[in-house]
Structure 1
Amino acid sequence: MSPHASQLEAPIARHFRQILMWPLRLMPMRAGDQVQRHSEALAAIGENNPWREQRDEFTGSPTDFHERHYREFVTFLPHVQRFLYGQGRSSATQRGYGESPIRIFRRNDIDRVRLGCEDGSTLDLKVQHIDLYFFYDVDVVFLVLEVFADNLPLSRVQELLFRFGRAFPAKWTSGGSEDGRAAQCMRSVQWLDREGRVLAESDYGDRERYLRHVWEHRASAIGRHWEFLLSPMVLHHSEAKGDIRYRQLEYHRQPKMTFLAFDDPFALTREDFVRLGQATQPDDGRPLPYSESVMAEFERSSCYDRFWVPERRNDNASTRVICTGPSMVMVGRHGLAGYSDEQNGLLAEFRHQYFLIGLIAHFHRASLLMLMDRLVVAVSLLDADDVDSRRRFKRGIRQTMEIFLRFNHRYWFGEVSKQSMAKDLFEMWSRNLGNEALYNELRAEILDMDNYLEADDSRRQNETLLRLTVVTIFGLVGTIVTGFLGMNIFDGPPATLIGKIGAVVVVAIPTLLLTFYTLKKSSALSEFMDAVSDDTLTRRQKFRSFVRIWRTPRNARRHDDRTRSGMNAP
């Protein structure tokens, strides 16, 4: 084969590995409980539950703890180590989250996934593992799916990045022989067991199901194969029964990490890297429609080129990382020990250290979105005219504020490592996901809510104190009179027990009526007292203030009418 012909051949990914990280919001199981403990509820399900808690190397036998695990641990700073691995074995007897705030559940019944490709062929990807990541005191769960294959053409890799990992179709084709087929998705997705039996299959072509679900619930459905993967948890907006319910937080394209090993990574063009990094449609022979400024901005903000120098054509400078936020792609040379080794190379670090870095960045974003979702739901359910609704609203807002405070001190941090590549990738990941801006927006909204609740409580307390003060002042007159003259102002004949009780009732009822009437007029009486104490007012003005005590309701109605008309005016 001539050198010119070899250059025209499409690059082959000798090893393809992808990790999908799908964040979902968990709905409360018990109203009023701040820590819902969904992971404990999942562990308690015995029937038709494929998920089993995964014990890590820190909680297993010492013989299972190897140097790779040690290198993973020391990559992170101490506060991140406590987040990822817990406080140590001694904390298992304490209340809280125990050894680690993260609980991992794994299912082992799925061996591979069979994908129907755009050209009509099928492709099997081996499943490395399928996990659920729960986080203590944060109602978020991550579905993590890791798959791999060997010897895939670059066009097939681009198709997988573009079409695989979609929760539901965004649209369907119209016209032609394939009318009604889901666009931008794999033709089919099947979960297979070790014997090759189909456990579940996608239903992207069932357009009526997705349309009806949005019409009925104002929320998108997800594919049947994803529902199967997440069971016995169930979608919140569905008719399925289940205590552990979830709803979507992100865009329908699931965040992903991709590892690619090529014989010659320098053979990839500039447009190839853009297609991989942005997970766009596969190369169809036409150039990308992007301007030079867009291409340059992509390379500046999303490409980590610390170890990428194509001019040298050197193995030590043949690794490039692209991180757009939702997608992260690592490209390097196949067969190079420092890159492809599953124990000591970048492949091992991709599956462990860099996966954890991506998980932290996406966990931060998912947690902030979950808290913002709680605020939106609380406001949407508020009925300002209903006392019970206002009480539930205040309780929900204060619970969200407390959860945010604990999240802020327990899980939010801006630096995870001092190692150059780990540190830079986390900063790039967080920046491109917009975590800092999202955090500041949520913090401002919570502070606004807090200020409103404090002002409302202060206003209600001031009104109560005002009424009590007015009642006390006017009750003081009667207290002084009866205290000075004595309780028996009128010396009547001795009375029987019934007569004494009747006298108490006769005195008590007018007193209560007078007290309630004083409370009703307390605001107007307070204004009259202010007018009496104001030396700048004339006697006529003070008398008018006294007369307004009995005209307050009518004036208040007129004032309310003027206020409403002013609010409705353009």
Structure 2
Amino acid sequence: MATSADIVVKHFRQILIWPLQLMPYEVKGQGSTMGRHWLQMLKYAEADSPWQPRPTEFDGDPAEFQERHYREFVTFLPYVQRFLYGEGRSNNLNSDQFGQSPLHVFRRNDIRKIVMMFKDGAVHHFSVAHIDLYFFYDIDVVILAFEIQGDNLPLKRVQDALFRFGRAFPAQWDEDHTAASCLRKVAWLDEQGDVLASSDYEDREGYLSHLGRYRAPKMAAHWEFLLSPLVLHHSSALGLIRYRQIEYHRMPIMAYLAVDDPFALSEEDFYRLGMVTRPGDGDALPYTRKVFEEFEQNCCFDRFWIPDRKHISASTRMMCNGHAFVLVGTHGSEFYSDPHTGALGQFRHQYFLLGLIAHFHKAALLMFSDRLAVALADLNLEDVRSVRKFKREIRHLQEAFLRFNQRYWFREVSNQIISDQIYQMLHRHLEVSRLHQDVRDSIQSMSQYLENDDLRRQADTVVRLTVVTIFGLIGTTVTGFLGMNLFSLAEQSTVDRALYFISVFIVMLVLTFFTVAKSKAFSEFLDAVADERMSWSAKLFMFLRIWRRK
């Protein structure tokens, strides 16, 4: 029987799903926009940008529409279909905006191969299947989807690639000054094999100085090159579309492994693949039986995995822990390896979209949480402009969150059993429902605060108007009792009457504004007069407080 060291992965695919937060773009006089500025800016830079809009399956000749696209489309429920693909127009609808998908995809085709140098000095080349950027209308989130593939690789090397490739920056360095848990070197190659960009994980001083200057980690050089013209927000780089890290620096992944005999993999092999840990160092088992049992119970979807039968129809295993979704099966099985109707086709299309939606949900909710925290941190109750900016930002986030709930938030995406259960596993491990509840509660709390603040201001206004009315009632009663004939001005000239009018107007205006300015003190005095429990001396004291300067 073959050991783990002898197992060869006949076909390997790895998809990185890297969510990033887009920084809001400030429009003068309008505040910050959310999730709309990137489209115009990318189209403006389209001629010079490596990222070009990716045409959809529906942009070609309908007669050439393929069955795999049909199978992908019908996997999802109608409201998810409209999110992913948009909606076709009927003959009586002429608006070009109707039915457009809120999801926009840009692709770059200049990077064709990847060179990975591992810790032991081994070098492997991987082909690039596609590199896409997914933008979402009204949401400041972008997701990089990066798919690579390779053939005839040792299992240990595949485990190492899964563990080390998707690292945005090093977490630490080893004694030999190489980045821990990262590849020794990564390089992007073009069609001719020329190097377009390479990693700088070994530049320890550069990462340290960047963190000391910006209080944010520096992205590795090859990832910065890949995302250009998007630029890191906490850097000196110039660019209108700026991003920053929103999750852990280790990118979520999806992986497909086709081997000759999946039953030859040990429990430790499955655990290391499913949990994306580094390869083992021999026959020693660092994990206990309880660890394996918990892994199988929580992270394995074994609908097509029955090792006791040793049959090709029961040799497919799916593993999901939120950070990773890994598929292992038999290379010679059409059910597993067919790129159109088999598990490989489903992995690249249906399962990928399930992972994309789940990670987008988490990233969007983290973005909302971050924006709420920033808005609250910038609030200064003693600054009127700060209060107004805070209210404007909270109301803007309320509107965006409402659109997110109606347009993007799905508890179910498919009625197909497998797709639905995989999606539920992803949501459960990512704790998206709990995060959604937390964000909704925070926004409701902020909204309640704004409503209470508006009610308080309205109550203060009513008090001021009431005080003015009460004291104005005295003058109104006196002048009414005298019949408005206190002074006989009918015989006076027009100029004299005009001067009398202006003088009285100015006096009344001053008295009115003085009453408004002292309305709070007058209100307290009126409350004291109405309080039968207070003595007259205490009421007199409250009256004298009106004229004291605070």
SS in 1 for 2:543: coil
Q: Tell whether the 8 Å contact from 2:521 to 2:545 is kept in structure 1 after alignment.
A: no
- Over 3 Å counting, the alpha-carbon distance change for 1:216 and 1:272 in structure 2 is same
Distance 2:263 2:69 in 1: 32
Q: 1:490/1:129 Cα in 2 relative to 1: closer, same or farther (>3 Å)?
A: same
Structure 2 residue matching 1:200: 3-state secondary structure: strand
When residues 542 and 446 of structure 1 are mapped into structure 2, their CA distance, relative to the original with a 3 A threshold, is: farther
Deviation, structure 1 residue 348: 0.3
User: Per the alignment, do residues 81 and 196 of structure 1 end up closer, same or farther by CA in structure 2, a change over 3 Å counting?
Assistant: same
In structure 2, C-alpha distance between the alignment counterparts of 1:142 and 1:92, rounded to whole Å: 32
Structure 2: tracts of 5 or more residues without a match: none
Tell me the TM-score normalised to structure 1 length. Answer: 0.91
Residue 506 of structure 1: CA displacement?
A: 2.7
The match for 1:325 is 322
CA distance in 1, matches of 2:202, 2:492: 92
Kept in 1, the 8 Å contact 2:464–2:516? The answer is: yes
Question: How much does 1:520 deviate?
Answer: 2.9
Which residue number corresponds to residue 445 of structure 2?
A: 448
Distance 1:513 1:552 in 2: 16
Aligned 1:117-266 pairs, distance under 5 A:
117-174=118-175, 178=176, 180-266=177-263
The farther-off stretch of 257-266 and 232-241 is 232-241
CA contact (8 A) 1:92 1:98 kept: no
Which segment drifts farther, 32-41 or 431-440?
A: 32-41
After superposition, the Cα gap between the structure-2 partners of 1:97 and 1:115, relative to the gap in structure 1 and judged at 3 Å, is farther
How far residue 511 of structure 1 moved from its aligned partner, in angstroms, is 1.9
Distance 2:250 2:147 in 1: 16
Aligned 1:519-538 pairs, distance under 5 A = 519-534=516-531, 537-538=532-533
Q: Secondary structure at the match of 2:26?
A: coil
Match for residue 511 of structure 1 among 483, 508, 512:
508
Q: State the 1:8 CA deviation.
A: 6.7
Deviation at 1:521, TM superposition (A): 2.8
For residues 264-292 of structure 1, what are the alpha-carbon distances to aligned partners after superposition, in whole Å with 9 as ceiling and x for unaligned?
A: 00111111111111111111126453343
User: Any residues of structure 2 matched to 1:37-48 within 5 Å, and which?
Assistant: 37-48=37-48
Conserved in 2, the CA contact under 8 Å of 1:51 and 1:107? yes
Counterpart CA distance in 2 for 1:549 and 1:246 is 60
For residues 296 and 97 of structure 1, do their structure 2 counterparts lie closer, same or farther at Cα, with a shift above 3 Å needed? Answer: farther
Unaligned segments of structure 1, at least 5 residues: 558-570
Relative to 1, partners in 2 of residues 1:20 and 1:35: Cα closer, same or farther, differing over 3 Å?
closer
1:231-270: per-residue Cα shift (whole Å, max 9, x none)? 1111111111111111111100011100000100011111
CA change 1:553–1:26 in 2 (3 A) is farther
- Give the total of aligned pairs: 545
* CA drift at 1:486: 4.1
User: Which residue of the partner structure matches residue 294 of structure 2?
Assistant: 297
Secondary structure of 2:225 counterpart? helix
Distance 1:289 1:486 in 2: 102
Match of 1:363 among 360, 369, 383: 360
Paired position in structure 2 for 1:78: 78
The question of whether the paired residues in 1 share the 8 Å contact of 2:5 and 2:156 is answered with no
Q: Deviations over 1:494-533 (max 9, x none)?
A: 5556544543343233323322222233223223333444
Instruction: Tell me the CA shift for residue 376 of structure 1.
Output: 1.1
In the alignment, the residues of structure 2 paired with residue 347 and residue 462 of structure 1 have an alpha-carbon distance, to the nearest angstrom, of 65
In the alignment, the residues of structure 2 paired with residue 450 and residue 130 of structure 1 have an alpha-carbon distance, to the nearest angstrom, of 40
8 Å contact from structure 1 (residues 97, 136) kept in 2: no
Deviation at 1:30, TM superposition (A): 3.4
SS at match of 1:422: helix
1:270-349 aligned within 5 A: 270-285=267-282, 287-349=284-346
| RMSD between aligned residues | 2.1
Displacement of 1:484: 3.8
Deviation of the 1:39 alpha carbon: 2.2
Partners of 1:113 and 1:191 within 8 A in 2: yes
Q: Tell me, what secondary structure is at the counterpart of 2:150? A: strand
1:304-334 Cα distance to aligned partner (Å, 9 max, x none): 0111000000111100001000111000000
The superposition leaves residues 442-484 of structure 1 with CA deviations (integer Å, 9 ceiling, x where unpaired) of: 1111111111111111111101111111111211221232234
Matched residue type, 2:460: E
Q: 1:164-214 CA distances to partner (integer Å, 9 max, x unpaired)?
A: 01001000113xxx2x22111011111100101000111111112211221
Deviates more, 1:151-160 or 1:497-506: 497-506
1:34 offset after TM fit, Å? Answer: 4.4
After superposition, the Cα gap between the structure-2 partners of 1:351 and 1:35, relative to the gap in structure 1 and judged at 3 Å, is: closer
Match of 1:412 in 2: 409
Which letter does structure 2 place at the counterpart of 1:274? Y
Residue 434 (structure 2) pairs with residue 437 (structure 1): yes
Partner of 2:544: 550
**Contact 1:57–1:64 (8 Å) recurs in 2:** no
Matched with 2:57 is 57
Which residue number in structure 2 is paired with residue 563 of structure 1?
none
Aligned with residue 377 of structure 1, among 374, 377, 396 = 374
Whole-angstrom CA distance in 2 between matches of 1:97 and 1:220: 41
Q: Which moved more, 1:364-373 or 1:8-17?
A: 8-17
Match of 1:22 in 2: 18
8 A contact 1:213–1:221 mirrored in 2: yes
In the alignment, is the contact (CA less than 8 A) between 1:28 and 1:36 conserved in 2? no
C-alpha distance in structure 2 between counterparts of 1:301 and 1:443, whole Å: 28
TM-score by length of 2: 0.94
Name the SS for the 1:254 alignment partner.
Answer: coil
